[in-house]
Structure 1
């Protein structure tokens, strides 16, 4: 009780923050799983068929546009896979209490600081990616391929352009989620300082991405 008073926190506030932390951590985890699933859809439902079509002599896009469209897909997939593996490691070691344990979510992002640079590269190349998509639309076979995707439940009734904007959106979402998590994390929590550093890192990443897109 003395420590609670010293920290100017009521038992209700402590319980509410703990509940919110569990909720936000779960949201980060579940939305990351959805994001990874979408990245894998890009590979299996778009990139692989387009590469195969090119090999068979019936290209859906210009051969030189394929690396432009999918240049950073592997990097983004690796980052997302790593984030999920870290969460699942805690889940395996902590059982049903994994969301209640002092998970250092901020450290996940700090450890991926160097890898996250791929999102700046993605932003730098995004204008070229959009141009490649515009060129692709001139191809009747690509139009049919993309329309089939929009009509397909396996691709969530979305086309390639809908998927290729997702890495830009996800990088921005990281900052919002971490900021919200920090709001409900006490300064004495093991995750607090990590979150502070991670938020600054993601903010710097977002700024660099904005500048990169403006340059184009």
Structure 2
């Protein structure tokens, strides 16, 4: 599993055009015209920092806010899980230990918004014996400019502990993480495409320059 959590791959056209249209309508209905579930106005976040306030968590991960729609209806999760199931063979070529998808949410970024570099980690709080191998991001709509997803790599030892795993605190809250040099690899994909990255890879998004970027994010488990 450790080897799989350091990989990145893609499945183009994971969602059909009809599914993209259907899910876009579902998200529009769920969010409402005012784009509710905006991070700055919510009393929770999908991210956390031990010992830190919610305000600090938001400042570290989404300093200019974003939308987090994290209680998706069955109509949405059913389509996503079905899409993953029918392309599971392709996903397992990249991540052989993957067996299922889980924990879906929708995120959306407007002008100037982004998520800072961080690591998701394999640990599964709900089922500790079934780790999260990789994350999967499925594009619903791209921004007019900016908003690209990226992964970051580094050849030094700063990111790793003695067991060969990513150290705790791989995020902008940690001085050691901010100080380490990393190389950024940008991803270009279309609506309906899926990008998958191991749960020990540093990743984030560039600020949106124009329009709105929306995607579904879930995890692939063993």
Q: Tell me if TM exceeds 0.5.
A: no
Q: Which one scores higher on RCO, CA 8 angstroms, separation ≥ 6?
A: 2
Higher strand share: 2
Higher helix share: 1
